[in-house]
Amino acid sequence: MLNFNEGDRMRLEFSGRSDNESFARMVVAAFCTKLNPTLDEISDVKTAVSEAVTNSIVHGYENENGIVVIECEIQDRTITVVVQDYGVGIEDIKQAMEPLYTSKPELERSGMGFSFMEAFMDEIEVESKKGEGTRITMKKTISCKMTEASEVSETNSK
């Protein structure tokens, strides 16, 4: 059995293109499956990652070429996901995080990206510097759902 107290990490770097958003979402979902999350938990993580990556592509790089970096770490039962870009940055983080605010109304953006991240993850922190990029750190604790097979395995290993 894996010892999550020691931590487990992964890093992914990819081109900031909209067609890579689903790839990023699936990689993070695959990484956190070792925690045996519920379908709702995995869906929450995927949605939050999708929103963060889309923000990097649409707002950070303004649909121009750029690199998006995702780092994940599992500590105990908590997954930390960091999505970082080196784009234009956010001038006013507080305003950007307000529901329905969008800096790109001409693109018919809903302005709900940060609201979704906050709703689906336990914690979210946004750091940004104008002209240097944005770093979004999200955390979610996965419930301790054990399958019947893993319960039998745990019992047999004692």
Positions marked catalytic: 51, 55, 109
Q: What angle do CA 142, 100, 85 make, to 5 degrees?
A: 60
Task: List phi, psi (to 5°) of 112.
Answer: -115, 5
